[in-house]
Chain A
Amino acid sequence: MKDLTGNFAGGLYGLALLSLIAALVCAFFLHIPDHAAEAEATAAGARA
């Protein structure tokens, strides 16, 4: 990317764009389950 844009700043903007894409995917599409919390909740439910 640095070679493509011809300077380090351009490369950094390219990397920033990739971070932004990761953020957008995270905001709109990603579901990350917390297995530890789920297991604890299940165990608490079973105890109750």
Chain B
Amino acid sequence: MEAALEKSAMRKIYLRLLPFAVLSYILAYIDRINVSFAGLTMRGDLKLSATDFGFALGTFFLGYFIFEVPSNVIMEKVGARIWIARIMITWGIFAGAMAFVFDTTSFSIVRFLLGVAEAGFFPGMLLYFTYWFPRRHHARIVSGFLVGLPVAVALGAPISTGLLGLDGLFGLKGWQIMYIAEAIPTIVVGLLTLLVLTDRPEQAKFLTAEEKRWITAKIASERPPAKEAAKFGSWKVLVLSLMYLIITVASLGLLYYTPQIRAWLDAYFGGVPPVVVVLLPYIFGTIGLLVWGRIADHNLWKAMINAKVLLLAVNYFGIVTASLGMLYFIPQIIKSLGDFSNMEVGWLTMIPYICGGIGMLVWGRVSDAMHERRWNLLVACVLSTGGLVLAGYMMGTWWALVGMSLAAVGCRRCSSAARRSRAQGSPGSTRSAISVALSAPITSAT
């Protein structure tokens, strides 16, 4: 009886939520990575150096990182339907605003605001799934949701490069048309969110009363103690986030003005090696962080200096940096293989991500069947390493694309496993969140 009830309720929930979640994630990723395709022509048009371009890309993650946790806290308060709609509509607006950037500063600011707007979408969706899916469905729903990523890259590549080819239409550059055309569907889907999503199972009109009772009772019986999550819901955390924003702005200001400070020091002390001047504030900062962390008697600090949390952060940092590095540079690496048009680069970019998507699904099923995570993750990391080394060694030949495809399979599997363990709340929601948060700024800086 219960099995039949579960089957019918879960079927309806999957059909209702999964296609929408995948579509939203595809749009999120297309809007996030289209900058790598735009870079093929935008850099020249705006006269951006590789460093300026890289810095502006990184500001997205800064905004995302700062507002990720507060966004989830607000979603818990106001409900998923309104909040996810808000996220999609505002990120759509900023994704479209990318068409109007004119220099490094405006590019960086809009990328930062895009990160702020999109912050909380991915963890918000994972949180939302926990309202609807019993624990034994988590792996399946997260894997299904993550399929959106390789699909986004596979679809995004030819669409973006195709739109780049419309250069001159309405007097706009190709990259401006691309940003605007790819932002509009996000805003439309954001508005549709208000009709499609329901906050909680007990409010769902598409479930019978019996199904609602079953799913509500099942989720309630599996809910872990809310003691740790409550820490993130308090006003103190919001104040801390605000303080962190101010500190980060000051820190970035220091970074911006380092060249001037260096020139000033040079005038006074003469002959000071530049590397010493640039690194000195950060050496003091790091020592201060470690010492302060040791003496501070606060759970958050304790979690931050916990060896396991730091190791998880290192692991996630390695996976995410390799994965994002590939994502941003694949079009330019492919371009180095020969004299391809932007459209051809787009089609070729699909290959590693089609391999990655298929690999992620097949490997996910194998891992589920084996009830094993750690060694599967290790093999995926090693495959990713091997693929990247092959691609680097065979640079300029088609073997590089084979290497990138192998690395994409490894990276996609790694990301899926790491995010799945995050969705399951392992090894504890606060620590897990901190480990990911710790890795985020380093990843974007790299």
Question: Quick check: B381 and A20 within 8 Å, CB to CB?
Answer: yes
Question: Quick check: B446 and A12 within 8 Å, CB to CB?
Answer: no
Q: Which of A1, A27, A32 has the most CB of B within 10 A?
A: A32
- Measured between C-beta atoms, what is the minimum distance from A12 to chain B in Å? 4
Contacts of B395 in A (CB 8 A): 7-9, 12
Question: Quick check: B388 and A15 within 8 Å, CB to CB?
Answer: yes
- Measured between C-beta atoms, what is the minimum distance from A2 to chain B in Å? 7
Question: Quick check: B378 and A19 within 8 Å, CB to CB?
Answer: no
Q: Would A12 and B388 be within 8 Å (CB), given that A3-B51, A19-B322, A30-B312 are in contact?
A: yes
Interface residues on B, range: 35 or more
Question: Quick check: A16 and B388 within 8 Å, CB to CB?
Answer: yes
CB < 8 Å: which of B136, B322, B388, B391 contacts A39? B136
For window 136-187 of B, CB contacts with A under 8 Å fall at: 136, 138-139
Question: Quick check: A35 and B426 within 8 Å, CB to CB?
Answer: yes
- In the complex formed, the residue of A with least CB distance to B332 is A8
Question: Quick check: B135 and A33 within 8 Å, CB to CB?
Answer: no
Which secondary structure characterizes the binding site on chain B?
Answer: helix
Assembly CA distance A36 to B308 (angstroms):
22
For window 353-377 of B, CB contacts with A under 8 Å fall at: 371-374, 377
Contacts of B392 in A (CB 8 A): 8-13, 16
Question: Quick check: A18 and B318 within 8 Å, CB to CB?
Answer: yes
Contacts of B411 in A (CB 8 A): 19
Contacts of B427 in A (CB 8 A): 31, 33
Number of interchain pairs (Cβ within 8 Å): 129
Determine whether B27 belongs to the interface, using a CB cutoff of 8 Å to chain A: no
Which secondary structure characterizes the binding site on chain A?
Answer: helix
Contacts of A11 in B (CB 8 A): 325, 329, 392
- Measured between C-beta atoms, what is the minimum distance from A6 to chain B in Å? 11
Assembly CA distance A1 to B315 (angstroms):
19
- Measured between C-beta atoms, what is the minimum distance from B407 to chain A in Å? 8
Interface residues of B (CB under 8 A from A): 50-51, 54, 135-136, 138-139, 222, 308, 311-312, 314-319, 321-322, 325-326, 329, 332-333, 336, 371-374, 377-378, 381-382, 384-385, 388-389, 391-393, 395, 407, 410-411, 414, 417, 421, 424-427, 446
Interface residues of A (CB under 8 A from B): 1-3, 7-16, 18-23, 25-27, 29-37, 39-40
Given contact pairs A32-B421, A35-B138, a sample of 18 additional A-B residue pairs in the complex whose CB atoms are under 8 Å apart: A3-B51, A8-B332, A9-B392, A11-B325, A11-B329, A18-B322, A22-B314, A23-B382, A26-B315, A30-B374, A32-B373, A32-B377, A33-B373, A33-B427, A36-B135, A36-B424, A39-B136, A39-B222
A–B complex contacts, Cβ < 8 Å, 19 sampled: A1-B325, A8-B329, A8-B395, A15-B326, A16-B322, A18-B317, A18-B318, A20-B382, A22-B414, A23-B318, A30-B311, A30-B377, A32-B374, A33-B373, A33-B427, A35-B424, A36-B138, A39-B135, A40-B136
